């Protein structure tokens, strides 16, 4: 089960997915600014979500977006 921090990241990316369409891409700096988490917590959550295949990143690791599995996880929790 995702941590509280991971759920916040997933929720934010899911809102972007709904607003602008799949895959809900946001710059990592936008994610950090939008959440009431310390930047280190946000980065740790993104890393864990990436490792679990729920979030993917662009090749230079400046943007993150949901995978279909990540979007399904949001709806489950």
Kindly state the DSSP code that residue 58 receives in the 8-state scheme: -
The residue range of the domain holding 25 is: 4-76
Instruction: Evaluate if residue 76 carries a pLDDT over 90.
Output: no
Confidence at residue 8, expressed as pLDDT on a 0 to 100 scale: 96
What span, in angstroms and rounded, lies between the C-alpha atoms of 73 and 34?
A: 20
Per-residue model confidence (pLDDT) at position 75? 84
Percent of the chain with pLDDT over 70: 100
- Identify any residues that bridge with 27 across adjacent strands, giving them in sequence order: 63
Domain count, the chain: 1
Gap between the Cα atoms of 52 and 29, Å rounded:
21
Question: What's the pLDDT tens digit per position in 24-45?
Answer: 899 999 999 999 999 999 999 9
The pTM of this model reads: 0.92
Integer Cα distance of 71 and 14 in angstroms: 6
- The enclosing domain of 44 has a CATH number of 1.10.10.10
Total count of residues recorded for the chain? 77
């Amino acid at each position: 089960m995702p941590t509280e921090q991971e759920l916040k990241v997933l929720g934010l990316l899911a809102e972007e997915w709904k607003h602008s369409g799949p895959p809900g891409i946001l710059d990592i700096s936008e994610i950090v600014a939008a959440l009431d988490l310390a930047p280190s917590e946000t980065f740790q959550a993104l890393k864990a979500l990436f490792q679990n295949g729920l979030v993917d990143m662009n090749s230079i690791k400046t943007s993150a977006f949901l995978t279909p599995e990540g979007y399904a996880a949001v709806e489950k929790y």
